Structure 1
């Protein structure tokens, strides 16, 4: 898995929808980059439905909890958005369990 974060944004202003697609490794440190992109997308139009698609990313459990908290509160963290603009966020996460490193058998 590539640890570099790759983010693509798709916006449909006619239907007030935006999709932020992230690939790579999302940690509690790199999540701020995702939040900044989400804030910029959200600022394009009020009432925009924002989907964070992290289904192809490797997401640390703490970072996933942070994303779900933002989704439930309807706001991005105050350090990212001091104005606390309303933000309708849905998180599309992979349903599979994270992969663990393969164990090596001693011969």
Structure 2
């Protein structure tokens, strides 16, 4: 996965209820911090803004995906996204490529 650039497009709905961060490229534990930073900036736009991190067009390592799932589960952006942990209404749309890889690994293990 190394070498592919990470690209993001951020869109905010008209009523400022939701920001969608569409991610393209390969997400790994090195560049996942950049996603935290983008999510933190989106979170600062409006109190209570829902943030959707859309990895549908990205691929992600298992470790990076686990970090992002942890953030979504606990509704917090980690400290390395800024000066302190930040509460955030974060949801995650996982990568189809990452999910397919995980399913095939489970099938092989069975």
Q: Same fold (TM over 0.5)?
A: yes
Matched residue, 1:98: 101
Which SS does the other structure have where 2:4 is aligned?
Answer: coil
Task: Provide structure 1 residue ranges, at least 5 long, that are not aligned to the other structure.
Answer: 100-107
Q: What is the alpha-carbon distance in structure 1 between the residues aligned to residue 88 and residue 25 of structure 2?
A: 24
Matched residue, 1:37: 38
Pick closer, same or farther for the CA change 1:15–1:45 going to 2, 3 Å.
closer
Q: What is the alpha-carbon distance in structure 1 between the residues aligned to residue 86 and residue 32 of structure 2?
A: 19
The total of aligned residue pairs comes to 100
Q: What is the alpha-carbon distance in structure 1 between the residues aligned to residue 32 and residue 14 of structure 2?
A: 25
Give the TM-score taking structure 2 as reference length. 0.81
Matched residue, 1:49: 50
Aligned-residue offset at 1:15: 4.4
What aligned pairs does 1:59-74 form with structure 2 within 5 A after superposition? 59-74=60-75
Pick closer, same or farther for the CA change 1:83–1:46 going to 2, 3 Å.
farther
Task: Provide structure 2 residue ranges, at least 5 long, that are not aligned to the other structure.
Answer: 103-110
Q: What is the alpha-carbon distance in structure 2 between the residues aligned to residue 33 and residue 15 of structure 1?
A: 22
Q: What is the alpha-carbon distance in structure 1 between the residues aligned to residue 55 and residue 75 of structure 2?
A: 18
The answer to which structure has the higher helix fraction is 2
Aligned-residue offset at 1:19: 0.2
Structure number with bigger Rg? 1
